[in-house]
Structure 1
């Protein structure tokens, strides 16, 4: 499979349960070959190859755990606007510190994101 034809997915991966849920969704999208995950920290940190990938013109999916929208903000530093931007609090995923992601909430959010981006796995 030519992964360069897939959308690029970026996610928050902070310390809260919501952030880790965002990361889990992006990893699953990558492993199931529905999107290619790239590193949002590298984009925010101005790492040239990762910024170049973000600016490549491919469809971008950004998944943030909370309303701070760090993922979307990191992309906007380079004038990159995602085609799809999701904030997991909109999926009733709470931002809990020191807690692991809820598997049921993860599964529900993953399915809704696939549906909303019209990606089938």
Structure 2
């Protein structure tokens, strides 16, 4: 793993069936694809896959994005005695959980803006 990648926060996201689950996943992918964070696999953490658990326990800052009050991401990390640096539950931010409804670009933008304002300014200042 390169030093640049190793310095980035990790992001784990819900990927369930609801709109807020998919919003969490979409935003995590955006953070990964734009090079701001490294997305890792929450199913691998919950499934106790050694290499994935090792990454999660590496000491890097972790953003856990949960769609709803079930907090599956946070609970999966807790199974490995990992507490995320930041935990965001989308329904607590006012997003309404709906089945068979897609999130829209405006929702993604608002969530990304929230993440940048509340989490990334802290970790990015440490990277520079």
- The alignment's TM-score, normalised by the length of structure 2, stands at 0.89
For structure 2, the 5+ residue unaligned runs are: none
Deviations 1:82-112 (A, max 9, x none): 0000000122111110111122122101110
Say whether 1:17 aligns with 2:19: yes
* 2:60 equivalent in structure 1: 58
* 1:47 equivalent in structure 2: 49
* 2:115 equivalent in structure 1: 113
* 2:73 equivalent in structure 1: 71
Runs (4+) off by over 2 Å: none
- The alignment's TM-score, normalised by the length of structure 1, stands at 0.94
Deviations 1:58-84 (A, max 9, x none): 100000000110000000000000000
* 1:38 equivalent in structure 2: 40
